[in-house]
Amino acid sequence: MKLVLVTAVEEFQKDVLNIFKKANIENFSSSDIDGHKNSPSLLMASNWFSGEKTGNGSTMFFSFTNKEKIDDLFTLLEEFNSNLETNNPLKAIVVPVERFL
């Protein structure tokens, strides 16, 4: 068993849900998160509210599942990212699980 985590900007939430379905990952959870990037100082200086740091609305999906489903998931994620017209690719990591109940 492994833990897979996928992050996406809010715009791609429905796409990720469809990708999980195609990968036959039926049990998963999601959580709203704020994504942040460190901006160059020039961009911060040109911002009227330069002292404020705000995040971009994102979603994190996670599931405990087997390697075969994760392999299918990664194939679908790579395919999705290869057709993107934005600079916000889906990101994913896999964490091995040593023990579970």
- Which CATH number does the domain housing residue 28 bear? 3.30.70.120
In a domain, residue 42? The reply is: no
pLDDT per position as a tens digit, 33-54: 987 766 655 454 544 454 555 6
- 40 domain residue, yes or no: no
Residue 48 lies in a domain: no
For residue 1, give the H/E element and its range: none
- Specify the DSSP class assigned to residue 10: G
**Average pLDDT by consecutive 10-residue portion of the chain (101 residues)?**
94 96 96 76 49 73 95 97 92 92 85
CA 97 to chain centre: 20
Residue where the block lists tokens 């897979």:
4
- In angstroms, what CA-CA distances link 91 with 34, 40, 60? 14, 23, 10
Strand runs labelled E in the chain: 2-9, 29-35, 56-65, 91-96
Domain of residue 80: give its range. Answer: 2-35+55-96
Domain assignment present for 46: no
44 in a domain, yes or no? no
The structural domain count of the chain equals 1
